[in-house]
Structure 1
């Protein structure tokens, strides 16, 4: 295996906005899609050898967890019926994408202070007992443990109609997007996380323009930093 193959990484790029076009290209385009597209494009330009797996849950939402899903997920794998295995097939695919990823990029706009419903459905499908987290009530100390391999990184790219949702801001206490993603993903082992968001969307004035420019600048700086860190650790 040559150096290029040794350093080949996989990016899982997830978008969730109900707006299907990009801001800057369409008057009603998505800011979160704009940021996630910018990040993955810059990454691919620097590292064309890396694979990018794209999943748009805004267009194709995963099935929501229901009673049949729960019964199947909590049944021992060897005792599942054909129907139960079929019910978990979509979840299995989503988990496999996450397990294979080195970098997880999530476009996550704020809807009513939280994440879009399709993104929550994705999250519920990949937090799986015995698959992405372990549980043993007889285990000494902490009965739960993460099962994802270490070294993965999460990047959340958001958009908000109002402003002041970052830590220390006027509305930080009602920002349930980043916390709602970071907590369960850290629970299964994805603990290294960065987040960047556009604000002031509802104002549609120079404050929005400045916020977009600042967010794009932060995306560029984050990519540069991660690539520099990667260059120190991997042959490229």
Structure 2
């Protein structure tokens, strides 16, 4: 069974354009794909913890050498990564906050973009390889202004380029972005 992981990052539960549009997409998607398993990760309402010194140390320690405290520090990150790697499709509801993504989504991404889990690093060649292969992503990005190319605000859009870069880094290269200026 195919899985759709919906990641919501708006802190608003009511009057959220990204939530409304995501919900409309999911309802239409489920009609067309009734066998899809839909998982919601709401980092807007329940954000993951930011990485800490212990988290970082644990992340760079070989799994077999991690202490119980290190394992506990990475437990939620591991859960988030399992959801991500288990999904076939991603739907990201991402309102633009101050020209970029919400900080709670950044905390989520900091938890899932991890060496040895969603990307590999070759110390000999100093190269990276994404490990989250075979996924497609749709990002719905409402904003208070028009950031389209050629508009006066275009240079202030750090949301789309960042999302494309970070998703591409872990090898989610088929990313569709729907900008919704309002």
Which interval holds the TM-score relative to the shorter structure?
over 0.9
Q: CA deviation at 1:181?
A: 1.4
Q: 5+ unaligned residues in a row in structure 2: which ranges? A: none
TM-score, reference length from structure 1: 0.75
Give the ranges of 4+ consecutive aligned residues of structure 1 lying more than 2 Å apart after TM superposition. 166-170
* Separation of aligned partners in 2, 1:39 and 1:177: 20
- Structure with higher Rg: it is 1
- After the TM superposition, which residues 27-176 of structure 1 pair with which residues of structure 2 at under 5 Å, given as runs? 29-139=15-125, 143-149=127-133, 151-163=134-146, 165-176=147-158
Q: 5+ unaligned residues in a row in structure 1: which ranges? A: 1-7, 22-28, 201-236
User: Is the 8 Å Cα contact of residues 20 and 30 (structure 1) preserved in structure 2?
Assistant: yes
Q: CA deviation at 1:197?
A: 2.3
Q: CA deviation at 1:147?
A: 1.1
Instruction: Report which of the two has the higher share of helix.
Output: 1
Structure 2 match to 1:183: 165
* Separation of aligned partners in 1, 2:176 and 2:24: 15
SS in 1 for 2:4: strand
Q: CA deviation at 1:169?
A: 2.9
SS in 2 for 1:109: coil
TM-score, reference length from structure 2: 0.96
User: Is the 8 Å Cα contact of residues 145 and 153 (structure 2) preserved in structure 1?
Assistant: no
